[in-house]
């Protein structure tokens, strides 16, 4: 039959009545063995480990981490399957104090340790004997005590052993690669962007079911990204407050849309610029975007072709990304992130149907415009994509 055994807070120091639970090493429902360290408690004077008085299942934790318990309080319940009657008094709870390790035994007879029932040295029934301060430090450093060979007295693990383990791990897992000039420039611009603008991202789905069904009929050979670029250009003409850049003395609005297209290159992210995109049709936008992207990847794009944009579009759909948080390309006030096309089953007109939709993420500078106007701009992009004839 099962027999519950109470694990109570013993009196660790004569004049201390309360202790704080620092950490439970076992979780509720976990199997424990006699002398396994269950938890660590701390009084005003010292830190102690409390061990399991018997093997069984830790059925209940009554005093959690950072909670205070008084001497005699029940900290937890262990359920044992032994048939013998179990009676555990306060004095039978095994307690180990965090104290300096005993001196090295150099005599002819084995050293006796009457102050703790935890064996000195390495492993004991799967538990590594170590003072609470060593156990805490190992946990903070992400080290497995069972993988560390102790060099202290009787094989105890020392702080120096932990430091050596960290050095070995660091030397085998980390190496420094100098930043390239391009990577350094990109990093500087991104930090500058976040430091000098109040960035906020809005997200929305654009229903492109009609475009999916009629894309080849409307304009054969046009990529999905071209349709998105065209929708952005049209929306910017309708909402010019996002076709703007910040300058030293205010906000500069542009009459023309110089559309930036983010290009992933071996050297890093570059933004190719389609100048006067608002004066170009679908085919011109697609041809120029492809040509500029090739030049950016080949390293032949001129500085003029990689600067001067008034709004940028970055597309991560080919990588399986949906919504994300694009960072503004300074000094622009808006950037649109485009994700992977998604299919969704919806209930329409008493029947189930499949719609196609694109996730859109708009980051804008709250210094330049507010959430309402930015949301209307995003809505316009979605409307143009939902009714693609407007983009022809």
Query: Which residues are part of the catalytic machinery?
Result: 366, 370
Quote the tokens at residue 86. Answer: 């179990």
**Could you give the maximum distance between any two Cα atoms of the chain, in Å?**
97
Residue 364: phi and psi, rounded to 5, are: -135, 160
Integer Cα distance of 277 and 292 in angstroms: 13
Give the Cβ contact number of residue 300 at 10 Å.
9
**Pairing of β 334-338 and β 311-315:** parallel
CA angle 35, 38, 42 (to 5 degrees): 115
Integer Cα distance of 324 and 339 in angstroms: 8
72-74-77-81 Cα dihedral, nearest 10 degrees: 30
Give the Cβ contact number of residue 241 at 10 Å.
18
> Angle formed by the axes of helices 224-238 and 371-386, to 10°?
130
Strand partners, 246: 251
Give the Cβ contact number of residue 17 at 10 Å.
12
H or E element: which one contains 372?
Answer: helix 371-386
Integer Cα distance of 321 and 358 in angstroms: 11
């Amino acid at each position: 039959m099962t027999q519950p055994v109470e694990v109570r807070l013993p009196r660790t120091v004569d004049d201390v009545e309360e202790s704080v639970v620092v950490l439970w090493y076992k979780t509720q429902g976990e199997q424990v063995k006699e002398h396994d360290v269950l938890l660590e408690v701390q009084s005003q004077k010292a830190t102690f480990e409390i061990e399991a008085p018997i093997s069984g299942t830790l059925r209940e934790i009554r005093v959690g981490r950072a909670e205070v318990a008084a001497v005699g309080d029940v900290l937890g319940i262990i359920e044992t399957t032994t048939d013998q009657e179990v009676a555990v008094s306060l004095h039978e709870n095994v307690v180990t104090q965090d104290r300096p390790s005993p001196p090295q035994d150099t005599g002819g007879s084995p050293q006796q340790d009457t102050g703790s029932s935890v064996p000195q040295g390495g492993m004991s029934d799967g538990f590594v004997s170590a003072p609470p301060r060593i156990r805490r430090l190992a946990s903070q450093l992400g080290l497995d005590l069972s993988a560390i060979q102790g060099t202290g007295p009787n094989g105890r693990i020392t702080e120096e052993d932990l430091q050596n383990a960290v050095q070995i791990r660091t030397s085998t897992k980390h190496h420094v690669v100098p930043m390239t000039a391009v990577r350094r420039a990109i990093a500087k611009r991104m930090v500058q962007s976040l430091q000098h603008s109040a960035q906020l991202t809005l997200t929305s789905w654009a229903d492109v079911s009609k475009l999916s069904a009629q894309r080849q009929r409307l304009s054969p050979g046009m990529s999905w990204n071209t349709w998105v670029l065209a929708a952005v250009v049209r929306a910017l003409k309708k909402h010019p407050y996002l076709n703007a850049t910040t300058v030293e003395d205010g906000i500069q609005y542009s009459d023309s849309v110089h559309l930036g297209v983010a290009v992933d290159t071996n050297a890093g992210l570059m933004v190719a610029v389609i100048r006067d995109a608002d004066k170009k049709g679908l085919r011109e936008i697609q041809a120029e975007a492809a040509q500029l992207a090739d030049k950016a990847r080949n390293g032949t794009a001129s500085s003029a072709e990689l600067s001067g944009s008034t709004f940028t579009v970055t597309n991560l759909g080919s990588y399986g990304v949906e919504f994300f948080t694009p960072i503004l390309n300074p000094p622009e006030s808006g950037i649109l992130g485009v994700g992977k096309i998604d299919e969704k089953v919806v209930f329409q007109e008493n029947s189930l149907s499949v719609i196609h939709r694109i996730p859109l993420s708009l980051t804008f500078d709250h210094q330049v415009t507010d959430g309402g106007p930015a949301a209307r701009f995003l809505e316009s992009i979605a409307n143009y994509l939902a009714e693609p004839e407007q983009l022809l």
